[in-house]
Structure 1
């Protein structure tokens, strides 16, 4: 074999390994960066405004103010421990639980991350405990005094639902098992019950189904709770052909199909009843636009997530 060719082959192989950024990989639970072709449409929609979660935006100057709140929230958890030794032991258990899952955690993010090992562990502990403390404060209102962070709850909700601002749900659940909780509230809500309350501003009417959801992260969890409940009569049998296109509303009216507006908890439910296609009115406020963009980006980057929001072409055709 020609030496020059062999050298070039080795060089190309090394370059391929160095550029392993996970784009396009169907890794369950993978938390990708937003691909450039999506990000360039509206770059601001994918960047956090006040809060960094996870490694992608960690350490950015404009997000440093929230780092003090993360430390404060971890301190608040530790105040439930009776003494300094117990606090140290509890903190050690949190760190150990993350360290044992370090390789799994790292595999879910695009590389390289340019963060030291200990800093990565510290970040996961602080970010995870911050999310948990925030959910608890919102759900059960532990504190009688006002928390300054409540003033930016809408922005926090926005930032917690960015694709590049996610922690794997399994690490949140692991930390939730370990964090000290007040004895005054029994039984304590599950993590998914608290996340549902925070993201929807209401309590779940079906906690069993809710707690059975398998979510990769908070954004995926929100995507799942937006899904309408399956209806058997709306499922096409294997010998039937589902429509490949959606005629315009004006053309639907001609054979007697009526388009009517309806109020519903889930805007994705579009029932067809007695010749009427019932479509929910959807008002998207400015703060919600980035959330919808990130849901769509998630679905496009995660083949197993489905595409019920991605197919915006449906709305174009129906209007």
Structure 2
């Protein structure tokens, strides 16, 4: 009887010991995660949630309408329908990565392009899932950099594990979207592609570009004769907003790419990644109020200023040699406000000493106060618009300049 009691007591003690070990392990994981979250990043974040001061002017300009990318809009109920599509793209990405790794073992894929276009041919059930662990393992060492890419307090609603899952699924979706677009295999309509493209440019709807680079390089980097780089695919997908002849060297994410596309061009054909303003020169500048009383376009015209359209494609090539004011042509479309707002938000948060886009918008806001000002610039071919009326052009710039410092 005593022996039985001793056995039961020993079993109970062992169970308590195991429970204690589990509790300590869970506590250790929680503490490690808390330390990682609170660690001061060696670099500033690059993905931000827009403050209410900016958002209240036009909430729709910062909110995705078709697909959420990254953690900030992941729980948006209006976008849940795309989650199934994302996992379909993830499976397609895993299939493509698995088949790419097997290319040397598959002599029947004589034509590399035949390989690319035949992804509907199923692998052995589940075989393509074997590389899922490899990609998760690739993300794990960079989880701190991924977390710190988002502004403080923006990720308090999720765990690191959830963040990595979101990042992997969304990265695979983007990679497959770009490859389908490049190889002309996409089943999406032009309207769907345009809608997704716009969502991918929103500042709150981003994931760090280095994550996509790492995953893409791991999956397809060994076959540059088949696959372009992810940077090349990105520039191709966003070509409507970029001069394809210009060279983009790097980016933090797609909103940053959009800003870079509008920066001045250097002599060697590259975009000026410094924004045209050395950071050290502008850090301690006193506020410049010399333009506080800048007159509108019609007032300047009445005073003898001649408005001419510049042949330059860079919006910042504005020159004034009395009495001629030359301004490059600006094409205004329905999505112009969304583009400007998100790039301006990025500048306010991430490039506070290099606010070239903000400065340009404020200049245009000074010039365009009324529909008559807009009409003058349209007449001089400095502005072309699809908004429907000059009054809408004036309203666009008057609202864009609101709450911008």
Q: Give the TM-score normalised by structure 1.
A: 0.75
Contact preservation (8 Å) 1:257, 1:277: yes
Q: Secondary structure at the match of 2:204?
A: coil
How far apart in 2 are the matches of 1:76 and 1:114?
29
Q: Deviations over 1:197-234 (max 9, x none)?
A: 22223772244xx2x23x22110111011112157xxx
1:5 is matched with none
Q: Deviations over 1:227-280 (max 9, x none)?
A: 12157xxx99x9xxx994356546766897532124654434335579643323
1:315 counterpart = 2:354: no
How far apart in 1 are the matches of 2:328 and 2:355?
19
Q: Deviations over 1:38-69 (max 9, x none)?
A: 11111111111111111111022110111122
How far apart in 2 are the matches of 1:189 and 1:60?
33
Going from structure 1 to structure 2, the CA distance change for 1:250 and 1:59 (only over 3 Å counts) comes to closer
Contact preservation (8 Å) 2:45, 2:148: no
How far apart in 1 are the matches of 2:337 and 2:304?
34
How far apart in 1 are the matches of 2:301 and 2:191?
47
Contact preservation (8 Å) 1:197, 1:203: no
Say which is worse superposed, 271-280 or 165-174, in terms of deviation.
Answer: 271-280
1:54 counterpart = 2:70: yes
1:189 is matched with 228
- Which sections of structure 1, spanning at least 5 residues, go unmatched? 1-16
Larger radius of gyration: 2
How far apart in 2 are the matches of 1:27 and 1:100?
17
5 Å-filtered alignment, 1:80-95, equals 80=96, 81-82=98-99, 83=123, 87-95=128-136
Say which is worse superposed, 269-278 or 67-76, in terms of deviation.
Answer: 269-278
Q: Secondary structure at the match of 1:259?
A: strand
2:191 is matched with 151
1:96 counterpart = 2:144: no
2:315 is matched with 267
1:35 counterpart = 2:51: yes
Contact preservation (8 Å) 1:162, 1:294: yes
Going from structure 1 to structure 2, the CA distance change for 1:96 and 1:220 (only over 3 Å counts) comes to same
Contact preservation (8 Å) 1:73, 1:129: yes
CA positional deviation for 1:34:
0.3
Contact preservation (8 Å) 1:193, 1:203: no
Q: Secondary structure at the match of 2:72?
A: coil
Q: Secondary structure at the match of 1:227?
A: coil
1:198 pairs with one of 221, 237, 240 = 237
1:134 pairs with one of 177, 187, 211 = 177
Contact preservation (8 Å) 1:52, 1:58: yes
Q: Secondary structure at the match of 2:64?
A: coil
2:340 is matched with 292
Going from structure 1 to structure 2, the CA distance change for 1:28 and 1:74 (only over 3 Å counts) comes to same
Q: Give the TM-score normalised by structure 2.
A: 0.61
Q: Secondary structure at the match of 2:356?
A: coil
How far apart in 1 are the matches of 2:172 and 2:57?
33
5 Å-filtered alignment, 1:10-25, equals none
Going from structure 1 to structure 2, the CA distance change for 1:191 and 1:92 (only over 3 Å counts) comes to same
How far apart in 1 are the matches of 2:79 and 2:222?
30
How far apart in 2 are the matches of 1:34 and 1:153?
25
1:168 is matched with 208
2:351 is matched with 303
